[in-house]
Amino acid sequence: MKIIEQSTYETCLASDLLMLIGESWSRSKEIEIWKQGWEFNYLIGQLNYAAKKYKKNLGVYIENRYYFEKLRKEKSGEIELVNAKVDIQLIKKLLKSGSVIVYLDNYYLQKIVHAPHFVLAEKFKDDTIKIADPYDGKSKKISGKILNKAIISLRNHLKYSPVLIRVL
């Protein structure tokens, strides 16, 4: 798989979605997906658009119950939402059937600033997870412990609900 480097500061989810569904990259595709998050909600707007446009069913795991309920009202028929605790165990389980987009605190990857960020987890082996990071367009290997810290920080420090996304 060719790793996509996001072309703007805010298009990590759009870039990850293109990689997850196996769609070739173009800046216009990336920006078009990203723009769909402007209307109602950053996450569900992009997911609805990508699922419909590229004819894919997506499974989306939302940890926060309130956020889950809000998104349930706005999702398209191609999106299956699941309210579940997002942790390393769930990621390992989902990786057995394909790649998974993970929402995390980027500080644990870049060591610069705390900010929400999406990456594509591709494989789990020996407590190491291989990810495609659209921030710099590089493949990286990180420990399950670091990934778990990044998810916990997203939840507890940045106050965002952890999210996982996969193709069904």
Distance between CA 54 and CA 47 in Å, rounded?
Answer: 11
Q: Strands 79-83, 128-133: parallel, antiparallel or unpaired by DSSP?
A: unpaired
DSSP 113: -
Q: Tokens for 20?
A: 């997850």
The arithmetic mean of pLDDT across residues 49-63, rounded, is 97
Amino acid (1-letter code) at residue 29 = K
Q: Which domains does the chain have, with CATH numbers?
A: 57-167 (3.90.70)
Q: How many CB atoms lie within 10 A of CB 1?
A: 11
Task: Please write the tens of the pLDDT for every residue from 101-149.
Answer: 999 999 999 999 999 999 999 999 999 999 999 999 999 999 999 999 9
H or E element that contains 83: strand 79-83
How many Å from the N-terminal Cα to the C-terminal Cα in the chain?
19
pLDDT digits (tens, 9 = 90+) for 80-105: 999 999 999 999 999 999 999 999 99
Task: Kindly report the pTM of this predicted structure.
Answer: 0.96
